[in-house]
Amino acid sequence: QMPRGNLETIHHRALVLAQLRKWLDSQKFREAFECMRKLRINLNLIYDHSPKVFLESVETFLRQLDSINHINLFLTELKEEDTTTTMYPCSVNTTGQSAPVACGKKVDIVCDALRCTMESMDQHKYCLSILTSHVKKTVPELEIALQKVHELRVNPPSAANAVSAEEALKYLLFLVNVNELYEHSLGTYDFDLVLMVAEKSQKDPKEYLPFLNMLKTLEPNYQRYTIDKHLKRYRKALHHLSKCGEEHFNETLNLVKDQRLYSEALGLYPTDSPQYKALSCAYAEYLVEQQQAEQAGLLLWRCGEATRALQAFVGSASWRNALCVAEQIPLPSDQLALLARDLAEKLIELRRYTEAAILLERYAKDCEEAISALITGAVWEEALRLVYLYNRQDIIETNLKPALLEACSSQTSYLEVQRAMFTRHKTRLAVVRELKEKARLELLDEDVPDCPEAELYSEASSVMTGSHAGSKYSHSNSRISSRSSKNRRKAERKKLSLKEGSPLEDMALLHALAEIIHSVDKMREEVHSLLKALVLFQFDGQAGRLQQAYGEALQMIEVALPEVWQEGLQQTQAPITGPNSTANSIMASFQQPRPSATQDSETPPPPKMRNGVKWKLSILK
């Protein structure tokens, strides 16, 4: 039946594979297995050929092989890869077998299926294969395997075909590194098992016996903790140590700090215990170091460490929490006022004027400072509210009105600067785009007739990037391929320069324009509230001019947007065609980097104007 001669040639292998598939389809596993072993064909194919069929006929497979060695051979050869696609692709597409049978890893599926069947058939006979199926799993189940060996030792089976503990262990040591097995035996906390492994290993008893003896003297939880720590299983170690009583708490705390197991540790103690408090404090210290002072404050506060919590909240400008804690302590009123001033100062630095004003008004009882903070922050209405609440209308003349006029003129001149810059960038962008388009067309005219192949063409264009006059304005093609790499993209963005003639000047201009648009659009709320305040104090003239200036700025942007974004992106999107265009010339025109193609990586999206935010006063002309 087998073809003779050199079976390693590809042609013969195809015949072999065809025969194998037939055998596997008809569940003649023994024939298939033996043939494969002889011809060194990867045994994974037995499963890969048809996972569903295999899983449904595991028992048949085991019965046909009828050899522990063969089963072990099959198990040890298992790999995640699908040999029907990698090593032995099948030219005839067999229907619907490509879908994976079950989710999960193939090796684990096969190991579990075989073990399950073997255990139900004859767990003594298949003992070694069962051990193999544990060891070969993606995450080897060494403890379970060891446990089974130990079971054999404690209760030697009476069955004739049973394997002795001795034999089983020897086999395990053949499969797994001895030190690894020793460590895992320790992990079972079963000293009999440890000793058994240790004896079988080449280890020196002087080395492990003292350690094992020492362990035996320890209290069970502490013993397990010691073993876990030895095996660097810190989470388990923490759990066992936490059960060892108060006298070991210092050790626990150190372990928690060393291994940063704060969250786990907090879960092991009742929230009203001193240990919980101690752990919270330690965690808080760590969090403060990590610039997470607010969360530290929360931990400290909830475990009753008010003073330290206050410190943490102050450090993180978490002023509301700080005040709550201060009231709870309770802080004497003069100290509370000082605290409030302190926090207000921080908030003003952070430009959080409204919050600073609450502190100054309510807790420092200083309405003047509060109003001053609000005026600085241009929070006009709130400033006015406090003015009337404290009957301090004098401040309107002395501070509020001058600040309003100052704000009005500074906003107006800011707008002027932004408008001038916008116009300059926009004009320059048009120039750059025209130059680039010209360069692109020139490039096409020159190169296409000589290079009929698009690939040749793109080479030519990248060669030209260095010195050709026009190429200054065309991206090098290598840019496109970099789209996937985020880091590289960031580096590219840094290269954006507004300097005239810089290679990505158009992108830099677009970014600059987007920034101007964003900052002008952002002013809506501020301008609106300023206009209202100006009108209230009869500064209609100034308000009218500001309203006009802002309206014109927005209008200018609105008009320019389609030109700067849409039109510019479409203009080079149309393929270059004409009576003389060929398939290649059209393709070549697409080989050229188009703004639309690189949009995702560089071109900022057209900024959105928040036209829904109404800012204009109808009472101003």
Calpha distance 269→280 (Å, rounded): 11
Residue listed under structure tokens 């063969």: 70
Residues 507-546 binding a copy of itself (CB under 8 A) are 532, 535-538, 540
Closer by beta carbon to a copy of itself, 264 or else 342: 264
Q: Which amino acid is present at 526?
A: E
Calpha distance 586→577 (Å, rounded): 7
279 binds a copy of itself (CB under 8 A): no
Select the residue interacting with a copy of itself from 120, 213, 271, 611 (CB under 8 A).
Answer: 271
Select the residue interacting with a copy of itself from 35, 142, 145, 287 (CB under 8 A).
Answer: 287
Residue listed under structure tokens 């320890």: 218
Shortest distance, CB of residue 273 to a copy of itself, whole angstroms? Answer: 13
* Only segment of 141-149, 178-186, 340-348, 378-386 that touches a copy of itself (CB under 8 A): 378-386
203 binds a copy of itself (CB under 8 A): no
Select the residue interacting with a copy of itself from 77, 108, 112, 294 (CB under 8 A).
Answer: 294
Calpha distance 437→446 (Å, rounded): 14
261 DSSP assignment: -
Angle at 317 between CA 527 and CA 263, to 5 degrees: 130
Q: Which of 380, 377, 403 is nearest to 529 (CA)?
A: 380
Contact 391, 475 (CB under 8 A): no
Shortest distance, CB of residue 388 to a copy of itself, whole angstroms? Answer: 4
Residue 378: φ, ψ to 5°? 60, 30
Closer by beta carbon to a copy of itself, 147 or else 292: 292
Shortest distance, CB of residue 323 to a copy of itself, whole angstroms? Answer: 6
> What angle do the packed helices 454-463 and 401-447 form, to 10 degrees?
120
Select the residue interacting with a copy of itself from 74, 234, 262, 457 (CB under 8 A).
Answer: 262
CA distances from 339 to 316, 360, 386, 584 (A): 14, 10, 21, 75
Spatial CB neighbours of 371, under 8 Å, sequence gap ≥ 6: 357, 383, 386, 387, 392, 395, 399
399 binds a copy of itself (CB under 8 A): no
384 binds a copy of itself (CB under 8 A): yes
275 binds a copy of itself (CB under 8 A): no
Helix boundaries (H) for 176-248 = 178-187, 191-200, 205-217, 220-230, 234-242
Helix boundaries (H) for 400-485 = 401-447, 454-463, 478-481
Calpha distance 241→479 (Å, rounded): 57
39 binds a copy of itself (CB under 8 A): no
486 binds a copy of itself (CB under 8 A): no
Closer by beta carbon to a copy of itself, 160 or else 583: 583
290 binds a copy of itself (CB under 8 A): yes
389 binds a copy of itself (CB under 8 A): yes
611 binds a copy of itself (CB under 8 A): no
* Only segment of 20-28, 103-111, 388-396, 456-464 that touches a copy of itself (CB under 8 A): 388-396
Select the residue interacting with a copy of itself from 27, 67, 201, 295 (CB under 8 A).
Answer: 295
CA distances from 372 to 299, 354, 530 (A): 35, 11, 16
613 binds a copy of itself (CB under 8 A): no
Spatial CB neighbours of 140, under 8 Å, sequence gap ≥ 6: 134, 176
Closer by beta carbon to a copy of itself, 123 or else 581: 581
Closer by beta carbon to a copy of itself, 362 or else 522: 362
Select the residue interacting with a copy of itself from 218, 231, 435, 597 (CB under 8 A).
Answer: 597
Spatial CB neighbours of 96, under 8 Å, sequence gap ≥ 6: none
Calpha distance 154→586 (Å, rounded): 82
Closer by beta carbon to a copy of itself, 87 or else 536: 536
620 DSSP assignment: -
Calpha distance 461→319 (Å, rounded): 61
Taking residues 303 to 342 in sequence order and writing x for each that binds a copy of itself by CB under 8 A, - otherwise, the string is -----------------xx-xx--xx--------------
Peptide bond into 157 cis (omega under 30): no
Angle at 212 between CA 206 and CA 215, to 5 degrees: 140
* Only segment of 101-109, 241-249, 250-258, 566-574 that touches a copy of itself (CB under 8 A): 566-574
Q: Which of 434, 403, 357 is nearest to 530 (CA)?
A: 403
Residues 336-375 binding a copy of itself (CB under 8 A) are 362
Select the residue interacting with a copy of itself from 525, 577, 611, 613 (CB under 8 A).
Answer: 577
Calpha distance 407→592 (Å, rounded): 49
* Only segment of 38-46, 158-166, 244-252, 613-621 that touches a copy of itself (CB under 8 A): 613-621
Calpha distance 404→398 (Å, rounded): 11
Cα–chain-centroid distance for residue 295?
A: 22
Closer by beta carbon to a copy of itself, 420 or else 619: 619
Shortest distance, CB of residue 460 to a copy of itself, whole angstroms? Answer: 19
Helix boundaries (H) for 537-579 = 540-562, 568-571
581 binds a copy of itself (CB under 8 A): yes
Q: Which amino acid is present at 531?
A: L
Select the residue interacting with a copy of itself from 34, 119, 180, 381 (CB under 8 A).
Answer: 381
Contact 225, 241 (CB under 8 A): yes
489 binds a copy of itself (CB under 8 A): no
451 binds a copy of itself (CB under 8 A): no
* Only segment of 103-111, 119-127, 220-228, 261-269 that touches a copy of itself (CB under 8 A): 261-269
Residue listed under structure tokens 């490039």: 443
Helix boundaries (H) for 453-582 = 454-463, 478-481, 486-495, 505-521, 524-536, 540-562, 568-571
Shortest distance, CB of residue 203 to a copy of itself, whole angstroms? Answer: 38
Closer by beta carbon to a copy of itself, 254 or else 582: 582
90 binds a copy of itself (CB under 8 A): no
Closer by beta carbon to a copy of itself, 464 or else 534: 534
Shortest distance, CB of residue 230 to a copy of itself, whole angstroms? Answer: 26
Select the residue interacting with a copy of itself from 135, 299, 403, 415 (CB under 8 A).
Answer: 299
Residues that bind a copy of itself (CB under 8 A): 262-264, 266-267, 271, 283, 287, 290, 292, 294-295, 298-299, 301-302, 320-321, 323-324, 327-328, 362, 381-382, 384-385, 387-389, 391, 532, 535-538, 540, 566, 569-570, 573-575, 577, 581-583, 586-587, 590, 596-597, 600, 605-606, 617-621
